[in-house]
Amino acid sequence: MSTPPEQQQHVRGEAAQQVEAASALTALPTSIAESKELTGLTHECGVFGAIACGDWPTQMDIAHVICLGLVALQHRGQESAGIATSEGKSSTNFNVHKGMGMISTLFNDDSMKKLRGNLGIGHTRYSTAGGSGVVNCQPFVVHTAHGAMALAHNGELVNNESLRREVLARGVGLSTHSDSELIAQSLCCAPEDVSELDGPNWPARIRHFMMLAPLSYSLVIMLKDKIYAVRDTYGNRPLCIGKIVPINAGHGNSSETPADGWVVSSESCGFLSIGARYVREVEPGEIVELTRSGYRTVDIVERPDFKRMAFCIFEYVYFARGDSIFEGQMVYSVRMQCGRQLWREAPVEADIVSSVPESGTAASHGYARESGLEFAEVLCRNRYVGRTFIQPSTRLRQLGVAKKFGALSENVDGKRLVLIDDSIVRGNTIGPIIKLLRDAGAREVHIRIASPPLQYPCYMGINIPTREELIANKLNADQLARHVGADSLAYLSVAGLVQAVQLKQQSADVGDGDGKGKGKAMGHCTACLTGEYPGGLPDELSW
């Protein structure tokens, strides 16, 4: 079946919604088994929102800001994307453009002109084949009794089935399997214990949803003239706030610089490219309201006292871009620290240290510095070939590796080398790389992985395969080394990864004895490594 054409929408009233719902019905699975396949694997996404300050209409090109913000988040999803904007005047009129494909192919001059507005949200998505299709593209727009609402979502609802039953019990129909539609419809109904005589109480509605759905999500929700940024109580998925500063603003303290606008994003990596400065993270359970006047916390939903924060540790390992900031530290620095810790746990006699670019580069520099070994590049990457983390078949993954790298034989010939990568999933990609290096003259190839073995699937927003597909459940490190043709292979331990991630926090906790050095409490989800899920296993699909 051919890929559906991209959607170009100018949403006006209930008629457009009915058309969207009708087209959605054609994409529904035909059996319960098929629907289980659709929800059995999760996806990783990126969300972005922007709002202009001061007088409206703004001179700032909000749609362009959002588009550039999504480009910076493209590593989080390459399958589909979308932008919704509002001029802040009409509660029934949002401008929406979304479709299948990369951001650079979806948004051109014509589509950007139709996205003029003073505020907007965007989304970039990666999903499994079963969840592909225009119908699942975000932002998801619904029309409530109080006007239009647009929503973009990163994560996966662990209890989506119980929430689905709760929404259906209200008499609300659902046209897709999208968590985003489920969240949007949940927000459309006011809680029974909330009075709305003076209009909708959106913070109360969001709080009610958060009490029903403990994780996993980061949300950006756009109404006529405001945006809500929401993070689940465990802080499982990332979300941060940035301040758009005047073009002539220097690098100094931006807190004293007047704001031209505010942005919210899954990662901070794109802030500098749009003239924004990182401000802070949205805290776990926090509901932040962004308006033309600024941003403020309108509510904080607490998690149970006996539950720890559970920020996804795999964001540090693989998904996030190296220049993003999480928990007050740059991802690149954490990955370098993982490399340092990896040398302490798994040293080896070698001539050079190198990496699988660019996923293992930061860790390899840390390994080289801690060991005193020379770092040298040994693989030349073809930058026009996409990632091989999740592809449809083993054959295509292996072909992807063949197309992806060349060997720098002058750096390799006759050398004992340590090759660092961030993770091993199915184990299909590392073997062809080792063969490539041996063909280029490498005397020894020792593999070091800057994360623990992946042994469990993720139900909270990252596309990690089933247990049967994960190579660490079939072969231990020594067996895997023989299987892929390495002289040795070792993983970073779970304790070592946690130590590397929390090193800065541990240093802050030491402080100077007066308590001023203490940082915020940290906690990380290691479910894909340990099988310990912070919210339990997901509901079984039963309809």
| 488 annotated as belonging to a binding site for a ligand | no
pLDDT for the residue 135: 80
Give 47-64 pLDDT, tens digit per residue. 999 999 999 999 999 999
Candidates 45, 53, 269, 338; catalytic one: 45
Domain ranges of the chain: 45-307, 325-383+395-495
Instruction: Check whether 299 is labelled as a binding-site residue.
Output: no
Question: Going residue by residue through the chain (543 aa), what tens digit of pLDDT does each one get?
Answer: 444 444 444 443 333 333 233 333 333 333 323 333 332 233 479 999 999 999 999 999 999 999 999 999 999 988 899 999 999 998 888 999 999 999 999 999 999 999 999 999 999 987 643 366 778 899 999 998 889 999 999 998 988 888 888 888 888 888 777 888 899 999 988 888 888 888 899 999 999 999 999 889 999 999 999 999 999 999 999 999 999 999 887 776 667 789 999 999 999 999 999 999 999 999 999 999 999 999 999 999 999 888 899 999 999 998 899 999 999 999 999 999 999 999 999 999 999 999 998 889 999 999 999 999 999 999 998 777 655 444 446 665 555 565 688 999 999 999 999 999 999 988 888 999 999 999 999 999 999 999 999 999 888 887 776 888 899 999 999 999 999 999 999 999 999 999 999 997 776 554 444 433 345 668 999 999 999 999 777 654 432
Best CA proximity match to 240, nearest among 333, 315, 159, 338: 315
pLDDT digits (tens, 9 = 90+) for 366-408: 999 999 999 999 999 877 765 544 444 666 555 556 568 899 9
In CATH, the architecture of 325-383+395-495 is 3-Layer(aba) Sandwich (3.40)
Residue 119, beta-bridge partner list: 51, 86
* Cα–Cα nearest to 154, from 176, 122, 129, 131: 122
Joined together, the tokens standing for residue 305 give 């006292």
CATH class for domain 45-307?
Answer: alpha beta
Q: What is the pTM of this model?
A: 0.86
Q: Is 528 annotated as a binding residue?
A: yes
Which DSSP helix (H) or strand (E) runs through 102? none
Residue 359 in marked binding region: yes
H helices of 383-502, in order, are 394-404, 409-412, 430-439, 477-484, 494-501
The angle subtended at Cα 71 by Cα 70 and Cα 72, nearest 5°, is 85
45 assigned to active site:
yes
Annotated ligand binding at 458? The verdict is: yes
Q: Report d(CA 465, CA 390) in Å as an integer.
A: 9
Instruction: Note whether 245 and 254 are within 8 A (CB).
Output: yes
Q: Is 323 annotated for ligand binding?
A: no
